[in-house]
Amino acid sequence: MDAQRWVSEVNEGWGLTVKVKKQLCDIRSQYQHIEIFETENLGHLLMLDGIVQLTSYDEFAYHEMMANLPFYACSHVPERALVIGGGDGGVLRELGRHPELRTIDICEIDAEVIRAAQKFLPETSCGYDDPRVKVNIGDGSCFIKEHPGCYDIIIVDSTDPGGPGEPLFGENFYRDMKKALTPGGVIATQAESYYLLPEIACRVVKFAGRFFKSSGFAQINVPTYPTGVIGCCLGSDEGEVFLPRRMPDAELQKQLRYYSPEVHRSAFELPVFARRLFSKNGDEK
């Protein structure tokens, strides 16, 4: 491969481009095109169907928020967590920092993503080393129906709609997630960027608002996702999702590089245009 190659995530009329040194993995699985690169400046880069999923440079921001927003928004101390998608293991790694969790289940549709991550992305796939993690290979939208009342937190670390993650953006899936929660449990779903995919962000906000008494869109700064921002939509029937109910102890806070109770609260403070977008199209409360 050309030593000076650049790879791009291309959106309508523009792209996000990263200089890569080497391609480590190029697999066409039953579900998607899996590519992993060693980049010039950003460590490893995982792409699925040409869409950036993570780079070593900033994956901590996304994974810490996806794991800790629901963990700390939960009205009771969570003991059972479910991750849907998230085959690279980054959310598992962050959940693993919480000794309170007794079980951490993951349902990933594509076993090839897990295999590739375990081979080439040790910094995120170390999440699988935790003995509390139980791996299920299958469709998360089916798995969730089979586990009513089982989970204190459910985290949906999906790809964009259009690929294997499509059912995870449907109304029925939100209804089924609600049934799979324990009373007072919390969902957290990958909610896209209000700049890049406003209609998807609105859809997610609308469904969360429809099924949960408290819901909201938290923004996360991730420079290697196009537009540099991505959402995490929370929903719960107890308390207000934008208020952390507990805080990391000093030892854990030292390990974290993005999440803090202050960041939890401020992530729900959106720019005016995004707030208007969601109140007009997302039924946000």
Map residues 96-135 to x or -, x wherever contact with ligand SPD holds by CB under 6 A: ----------------------------------------
In SS3 terms, 120-187 reads as: HCHHHHHHHHCCCEEEEECCHHHHHHHCCCCEEEEEEECCCCCCCCHHHHCHHHHHHHHHHEEEEEEE
Residues 27-56 that bind ligand SPD (CB under 6 A): 51, 53-54
Stretch that binds ligand SPD, among 67-75, 155-163, 179-187, 256-264 (CB under 6 A): 155-163
* Residue 190 within binding range of ligand SPD, rule CB under 6 A: yes
Helix axis angle for 198-211 and 171-180, nearest 10°, is 40
Q: Of 40, 160, 237, 238, which lies in the binding site for ligand SPD, with binding defined by CB under 6 A?
A: 160
* Residue 157 within binding range of ligand SPD, rule CB under 6 A: yes
Instruction: Provide the minimum distance between the beta carbon of 9 and ligand SPD in the complex, in angstroms, as a whole number.
Output: 8
Contact in structure between 16 and 9 (CB atoms under 8 Å): yes
Stretch that binds ligand SPD, among 85-93, 136-144, 145-153, 178-186 (CB under 6 A): 85-93
Name the closest residue to ligand SPD (Cβ). Answer: 53
Instruction: Provide the minimum distance between the beta carbon of 54 and ligand SPD in the complex, in angstroms, as a whole number.
Output: 5
Name the β-bridge partners of 52: 47
DSSP letters for 196-217: T-HHHHHHHHHHHHHH-SEEEE
Contact in structure between 214 and 49 (CB atoms under 8 Å): no
Q: Which residues bind ligand SPD (CB under 6 A)?
A: 51, 53-54, 86, 88, 90, 157, 159-160, 190, 225
